[in-house]
Structure 1
């Protein structure tokens, strides 16, 4: 199965697509304190749940969502129609790094998608190109809760310097020219809810679709679960930073 389709199915029961719950997502968006007619950009939007929540909180705002997954964007379009948001949300099927716009944005999101740019620092440089000077960025990134052992790095296909610890992650953001105005650090409970939903949603779909695709989905769910439970659980953390342009 296509990996993008697997990811889309796996996020059905946790559409936020990050180890964050509804209350914290809303708190992060409210802390942005956007102007009424704000322009919002979500780079790597997936099913665009963050985008739609922002539009619901700021009913005069408009948004662009960008993603490479056709399945996720098709789902996002249907959900936007159901929630009456179609007229205020534009979806773009292309790589986040290739997106261009004629006007800057008040809020740029990139949550759990910094890999699209090659890492946190590169993502923040890319975000700056889209951001109004007084705008804000909401960026979700992994960090090491504790030094990862070699076997965990091997399972993740990661290098030790791919992530920093929490303090180092904040420093990386501020070294890129941003000031941190708020953040949320995901808890173990947040992670467990996210991972059990990810693997469970994919497993349920696999059992309902016997055949080659179902077999592939079930194998992906079991491999992911093993990598989490026997690999990065309590080692890989996640923080969502609310940032403004500024010096340290």
Structure 2
């Protein structure tokens, strides 16, 4: 049984399709990332998977159940980190984590979760005294305290500094290594590339491409861009296989220390897929 199985998913508002026929499979233990511009339909899709929004049409199974009809036992098996989370500002971090953990059978201990998200030094601080990035870590702690089989992360590292983001990535890898299935929505393409086993790009309510970060949208087969300096001028050429060009440059005496080879980045492919212009 897959963690998520979706066929023909549609969501219509006032005659307009916000989600226009999505088919999707997410394997158990996988880190799966949904990418797309604002208004593309990815948030609506995730809310349907979480059981927070009803679909107009299609078949959806999450952990083997229809999220539109599933009960509290099913909800205890998923974790959610919302993009905009509210908090009880006058509670301490430990009090808040303990309170939410009480709703789950077999929850992690508060101190274990607080340590996982890097807030040990702030565990007795009131939430209202925390920085934006620290509050975001509390949101993540609340999402994982119940040992979810499936974790939804919506822009989880918003407000994190670069070091905190890398620490969070390590946490996600640890959770995935323990068998947690993770669905990640993010605008940080480096985050998706670093974490996701597979990803899909959503545009206009449809999945326009799906694959691994290395192969999405034909990325692996994209032409290489070779650049070098010759006679004091910078030159570039795009080729499918740069081997022959490099040999020619070597024969002509080009200084190979000036040579660089690059293929399309995930950002390049993503912008092409969503029809963006730069």
**TM-score where L is the length of structure 2:** 0.28
Higher helix share goes to which structure?
1
Structure number, greater radius of gyration: 2
